[in-house]
Structure formats: C-alpha cells, structure tokens
Amino acid sequence: MAGHGLPGTLYPNGEIVMGALKVQDGSGITMDYTPGSAVTAGDVVATSNIVGVANRDIAANELGVLDLDGIYDFTKVNTAETMAIGNVIYWTTGATKASTPSGIIIGKCVKASSATDTTVRVYLSQ
C-alpha cells in the first residue's frame, strides 16, 4: 500500500498527529473507530493506551477502522536517536512522534535507524 498525506490535527476522540507509511500488511488486527473530525488514510490515532493507523479515510462521526498491526515507518521524536532492531518503540503523545524512552508502546523496531534517519520502521503490535 502506498503512503498517504501527513496531516496533523487534534481530534476529540483521539489524537491524529502525523501520517504513517505502511510498508507491509500485518495479520489484519483492527479496531473500530469513530472520529469527531475527518481522518485521512495513514493518520496515526492515539486513544488511551492504543495507537492505530487509519487504513482508509474516515468521515467525521462515521464508523471506520484502525490497523493495530503491520509494518510502518514512523517519524522519530529525536532524529539523532539511534534505534536498533528489536528495540521497543513508543508513541510519545507530547511530541507526537516515535521514540524509545517512554509513551504508549507501539511495537518493535524492525530496521535499524541511524542518527541521520528521520523515521523508524516499526512492527505495529500492541
């Protein structure tokens, strides 16, 4: 599946903060989601302790679906941070990006990310 736009908007039912580029499908684990405002395919949604990625555009107040697994490239909080294969990766809601120190667990790093990379490849698994 190709990448999508990267809008950044705060929504009442969850936080839509950036886009994620889907690299590989997972096993199809999803979650129903009804946003207060429209969501674009590829948007990252953080609700409570779950982070998902919209697999299609979802109109405001309409039922849609978030992917809860698969392999995605997420923007890193700190580009200078290196991440090794197997590192647990977190969604840092304050910075609205991926990191290793704290936040909501989104999965594990599946491709090493150097200090010059702006993204980290993560197997999204909650």
One domain for residues 53 and 101: no
Find the domain containing 90 and state its range.
Answer: 72-125
CA 61 from centre of chain: 21
Query: What is residue 48's three-state secondary structure?
Result: coil
Q: Percentage of the chain with pLDDT > 70?
A: 80
Using DSSP's 3-state secondary structure scheme, residue 32 falls into: strand
Q: Which residue, of 49, 68, 87, is where some domain finishes? A: 68
Non-local CB neighbours of 32 within 8 Å, separated by 6+ positions: 63, 64, 65
pTM (two decimals)? 0.76
Q: Within this chain, do residues 54 and 35 fall inside the same structural domain, yes or no?
A: yes
Structure tokens at 107: 């999965």
Whether residue 3 lies inside any domain: the answer is no
**What size, in residues, is the chain?**
126
Examine the domain organization and report whether 30 and 63 are in the same domain: yes
Query: Do both 63 and 25 map to the same domain?
Result: yes
In which residue ranges of the chain is pLDDT below 70?
Answer: 1-19, 21, 24-26, 94-95
Which tens digit of pLDDT belongs to each residue from 70-99?
A: 999 998 888 899 999 999 999 887 667 888
N-terminal to C-terminal alpha carbon distance within the chain: 21
